[in-house]
């Protein structure tokens, strides 16, 4: 068979980018009260109830907000408890920043969530019952400065019972890869062919101690030929520059976060070497990206 026959039709090399994140997860068993109020706050606390109890937030990924594990219901036990009922959050934890301002409440008396580092109306004087929704709002300052661990806060009022708030912080390395597939068209005989698409990798980590490892599986021939035809990883190359500095994936290609910081946006370009031994047809394999860190 001559060379003109080997590539008589378009040779589509499909590379599926598999997203893998390796990390150490902290497994936490949290025993909570089955319901009711945990303890009474100051003042006339026996007449205003708020339940079902402990509010929990779990922070793992750099999202904009985290919902509480449940809503709260506040109600009056006796009609002789008069006036509006306000609640605020007190942060007695060892956090380097005041976490009270990150907790917000949605009540029937406001059109939007209100920060709980100052008093917020939970129950108006004309009402006997209200439902409250809490969220933890995050920003880059929280993500950078608050270490992993457990933080205890309190939701308090001078007319109602108090509720424990627990914030569990277990920040992990977070990676997004797009697109899911990279196509390379080899349509002109043996040679080197480049991807038209860019593989974009976004990494957000708690620090710059992350490592990104890139490796490739062989690209396997998808046709009916009985021969086990492959394009080996040594003939697959990757670079952050479209025109130069390509690295063979015969071995693992490692990138250190110390060069980029805790947040990185990386664009990768792929090329493959196709030889005379490769039949015309489709070849498919994977490029596997693994991010790990401290």
> 235 by DSSP, 3-state: which?
helix
Mark which of 169, 185, 208 sits at the end of a domain: 169
Q: Is the pTM of this model over 0.75?
A: no
285 is a domain residue: yes
**Number of independent structural domains in the chain:** 2
Report DSSP state, residue 126: T
CA distances from 157 to 40, 190, 220 (A): 9, 76, 66
Whether residues 142 and 243 fall in one domain:
no
Q: Of 87-91, 255-259, 290-294, which range is least confident?
A: 290-294
Look up the CATH number of the domain holding residue 219: 2.60.40
34 is a domain residue: no
**Which structural domain range is residue 263 located in?**
3-23+173-292
DSSP secondary structure of 59-81: E-S--SEEE-SS-EEEEES-TT-
pLDDT (0 to 100) of residue 42: 40
Reported as type and span, the H/E element at residue 23 is none
For residue 144, which phi and psi values (nearest 5 degrees)? -80, -40
Residue 261 to residue 26: CA distance in whole angstroms: 23
CA distances from 51 to 44, 58, 110, 134 (A): 17, 20, 21, 13
Residue 282 to residue 287: CA distance in whole angstroms: 16
36 is a domain residue: no
Whether residues 196 and 132 fall in one domain:
no
Mark which of 128, 145, 169 sits at the end of a domain: 169
- Nearest Cα to Cα of residue 138 among 70, 51, 204, 202: 204
Look up the CATH number of the domain holding residue 104: 2.60.40.1510
DSSP secondary structure of 3-22: HHHHTSS-EEEEEEEEEEE-
Mark which of 150, 169, 188 sits at the end of a domain: 169
pLDDT in tens, 183-234: 888 888 888 999 888 999 988 777 888 899 999 999 888 877 656 688 899 9
């Amino acid at each position: 068979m001559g060379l003109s026959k080997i590539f008589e039709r378009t040779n589509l090399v499909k590379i599926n980018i598999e997203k893998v994140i390796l990390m150490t997860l902290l497994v936490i068993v949290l025993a909570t009260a089955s319901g009711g109020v945990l303890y009474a706050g100051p003042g006339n606390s026996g007449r205003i109830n708020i339940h079902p109890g402990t509010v929990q937030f779990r922070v793992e990924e750099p999202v904009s907000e985290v919902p509480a594990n449940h809503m709260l219901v506040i109600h009056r036990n006796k009609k002789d408890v008069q006036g509006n009922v306000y609640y605020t959050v007190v942060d007695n934890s060892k956090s380097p920043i005041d976490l009270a301002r990150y907790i917000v409440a949605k009540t029937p008396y406001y059109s939007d969530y209100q920060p709980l580092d100052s008093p917020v109306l939970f129950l108006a004087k004309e009402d006997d019952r209200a439902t409250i929704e809490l969220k933890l709002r995050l920003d880059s300052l929280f993500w950078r400065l608050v270490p992993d661990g457990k933080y205890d806060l309190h939701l308090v009022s001078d007319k109602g019972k108090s509720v424990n708030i627990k914030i569990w912080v277990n920040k992990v390395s977070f990676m997004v890869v797009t697109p899911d597939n990279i196509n390379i068209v080899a349509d002109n005989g043996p040679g080197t062919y480049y991807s038209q698409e860019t593989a974009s990798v976004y990494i957000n980590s708690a620090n710059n101690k992350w490592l990104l490892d890139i490796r490739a599986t062989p690209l396997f021939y998808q046709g009916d030929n009985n021969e086990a035809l492959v394009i080996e990883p040594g003939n697959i190359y990757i670079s952050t520059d479209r025109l130069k500095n390509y690295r063979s994936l015969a071995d693992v290609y490692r990138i250190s976060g110390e060069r980029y910081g805790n947040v990185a946006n990386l664009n990768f370009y792929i090329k493959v070497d196709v030889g005379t031994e490769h039949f015309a047809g489709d070849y498919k394999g994977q490029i596997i990206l693994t991010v790990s860190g401290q």
